[in-house]
Structure 1
Amino acid sequence: MLKNCVYQIFYDDESRRALDPGFLPLDNTGQRPDWREYWPMRRFLLSNTLEENARYGFLSPKFGTKTKLTSGDVFVYLARQPDDVEVVIFSPFFEQNAIFLNVFEQAVHHHAGIAQALEMACRRIAPTCDMRHLVQSSEQVVYCNYIIATPRFWREWLAACEILFDIAEANSGMLGPLLNALVPYGDMQLPAKIFIIERMASLLLSIRAFRSRTMEIERTTLSTPDWVPHTNLLIMLDALKYAALGTGREEYVKVFDVERNLLAGTVKREREAGKELVQDVKQPNRAARRKAALGKQRK
């Protein structure tokens, strides 16, 4: 059985006190906040020889808050995984996986102005990858760097990230200033490079042959309560992406696009109306909208 070495990053005394005692503390005090979690992860991987019969993880201080998982939950799940599983994913906020075609589309939606940097970075790491049409299911989607992975994965991940790191540090070419440019993150402005580096794990899982496993959907979190009544539809969207990846058939992507737009519209209307969310989606209305949307696609 593989050993699992899971670290949790802290930045100051307050974040250290908040660490889960079941994880190993990883000190990032007084370092480079402009790189967020990438800096301590990079420093660890460059400074240590990883054991080949182990998996490693580097979690942020907010892991428990975002995932509602304890170290005990993590280690129990890891113990159930066969040794040939190289990457175990604990991404939070399942709707962010399900409603978007891939992590790049999600970034463009949430971080205005990041699109050009994303495209250039993606081409630099994976020249043949078309991020606009790349399909990613929950087996490829990684948010917040919440993965536990083998040295083989981390070596490839670090090599890819270091290409972007060097460009950003030198602020070179067209890409350098774009990586260092500020983009919105909630009510803050942070360098685009943080969010682009965060998506390198997902990119590698799409273009390389790593066997991955993700936490069961019923154990994952949603970012806001208004998605809860639509959990089954979110699972369906993820399943459509699984089907598209497994068969290569474009029909699944087309249906995914229709269904996710319908669901996004439903949630938006519910938010605008300020109504209490009900447990069941009104299927007749949804069915009518689906029929109309599919009819438009056939024209």
Structure 2
Amino acid sequence: MNKIQIYQIYYDDLSRNQVEKEFIGLDNTSNQRSDWYEFWPILNFLRKNKIENDIWYGFLSPKFRVKTGVSAKLLTNIIKDHGNRADVIIISPGWDQLAYFKNTFEQAEYWHPGIEELTSVFLEKVKLNINLKEFITDSSNSGFSNYIIAKGKYWQNWLNLSEHFFYIAENNEQFKIITTYGSENELVPMKTFIQERLSSIILNLEEYKIITYDQSTSMPIFEKMFENNIETRKLLITCDLMKKYYRMSNDNKYLDMYWEVRSKIKLKKLTN
């Protein structure tokens, strides 16, 4: 039987009242470190609580359902139906961006120039030999917004890496660089967008049995970035598949095919 503890972070009475009944509210009304956004309550929960290997944990923002289209009831049913054959379940927004970019950090560079270099500084400091220029991720081993539901092993590894990242970001001025947040032009620390992508690193450092909730045929294409038509959707799905085949086989023909297919997709220039 799958034990489930999915927490939904709330900041005020409004977001507290929006916590779905299948979720457990995670109080962040004090918001002591607003510069860390959801990272702060997740980090503190994992610091203070014993993490059990056989429990499914998740730590979701108030926007989880809006961003993914997945209700709390559907999520718990997915875990109950498929949890016995997995360690990690990825339910991520931005399926099209996961498919198009070679990894989540290249995607971040599109929105936040300079973030790849800053992430590389962190990786070097913790002695992780990951070259982001060659790093390949797809929908089956990466995601956005910490929308990862996983058993204790993953969260213990997340905590270990996140403690290093927190210490480095707190003690190095270069990690206090500010960037804009999408089209809202809100100023946000760059570190926020690095921590959201730590899952892509963690899921590539160890073997996990991973299930991805595939939304490539149902969720909309982000029209600010791509042409919204059937042809683009097919090309994006193919990009994701070629990256997956490459990771499974280490055969460069699939990576070459990925780049060829990707070249046929028009990526719009980012404008404010």
Q: TM-score, normalised by structure 2?
A: 0.90
Match of 2:82, SS state, is coil
Match of 1:55, SS state, is strand
Alignment coverage as a number of residue pairs:
264
> Which of the residues 159, 182, 185 maps onto 2:181?
185
Match of 2:22, SS state, is coil
Match of 2:59, SS state, is strand
- Structure 1 residue 116 and structure 2 residue 114: aligned? no
Superposed displacement of residue 39, structure 1: 0.5
> Which of the residues 235, 248, 251 maps onto 2:250?
248
- Which amino acid in the other structure matches residue 96 of structure 2? E
Superposed displacement of residue 26, structure 1: 0.4
Equivalent pairs: percent with the same residue?
A: 32
State how far apart, in whole Å, the 1-side matches of 2:33 and 2:260 are: 42
> Which of the residues 256, 259, 264 maps onto 1:257?
259
State how far apart, in whole Å, the 2-side matches of 1:204 and 1:245 are: 15
State how far apart, in whole Å, the 2-side matches of 1:141 and 1:126 are: 21
Check conservation: 2:216, 2:237, Cα contact below 8 A.
no
What does residue 213 of structure 1 align with? 211
- Which amino acid in the other structure matches residue 90 of structure 1? I
Deviations 1:248-269 (A, max 9, x none): 111211221121132125xx49
Check conservation: 2:51, 2:156, Cα contact below 8 A.
no
For the aligned residue pairs, the C-alpha RMSD in angstroms reads 2.1
Superposed displacement of residue 46, structure 1: 0.8
Check conservation: 1:113, 1:183, Cα contact below 8 A.
no
Deviations 1:14-38 (A, max 9, x none): 2222222321110111221101111
CA distance 1:151–1:228, change in 2 (3 Å)? farther
State how far apart, in whole Å, the 2-side matches of 1:219 and 1:57 are: 25
Q: Which has the larger radius of gyration?
A: 1
> Which of the residues 196, 212, 222 maps onto 2:194?
196
State how far apart, in whole Å, the 2-side matches of 1:220 and 1:144 are: 20
CA distance 1:128–1:44, change in 2 (3 Å)? same
Please list, as runs of the form range in 1=range in 2, the aligned pairs for 1:64-79 lying within 5 A after superposition.
64-79=65-80
Q: Mind listing any 5+ residue stretches in structure 2 that lack a counterpart?
A: none
Check conservation: 1:18, 1:61, Cα contact below 8 A.
yes
Check conservation: 1:90, 1:214, Cα contact below 8 A.
yes
Match of 1:263, SS state, is coil
Please list, as runs of the form range in 1=range in 2, the aligned pairs for 1:38-117 lying within 5 A after superposition.
38-117=39-118
